[in-house]
Amino acid sequence: MRNNIALQRYELDVDGGIAFARYRLEPGVVIITHVETPLALRGQGIGSQVVEGSLHLIRTEKLKVRAGCSFARSYLAEHPEFADIIA
């Protein structure tokens, strides 16, 4: 998992390409705007891995998060262990 600052996305290398969570920054807050996985790998939980990894990086960076897409919103609703970083 890495933060590709130039493309404003958190990336995870997977078989067949890169899965990512695109974001935009506001002061102290990362807004996840889109989560995407390679087409051939959809439905295998990779999107959830991307969001989880992104949230760990956001926490490490001492930032807060806001879900700007339905996938990230659903993930956060189902994972209260990240409630401390929700903006």
- Tokens 């390679």 correspond to 38
Q: What SS3 class is residue 19?
A: strand
Q: What SS3 class is residue 65?
A: strand
How far is residue 36's CA from residue 26's CA, in Å, rounded to a whole number?
A: 21
- What's residue 77's pLDDT? 98
Tokens found for residue 49:
């891995």
For the domain 2-85, what is the CATH superfamily, name and number? Gcn5-related N-acetyltransferase (GNAT) (3.40.630.30)
> Is the predicted pLDDT of residue 40 greater than 90, yes or no?
no
- What's residue 14's pLDDT? 94
- Cα maximum dimension of the chain: 36
What is the value of pTM for the model shown?
Answer: 0.94
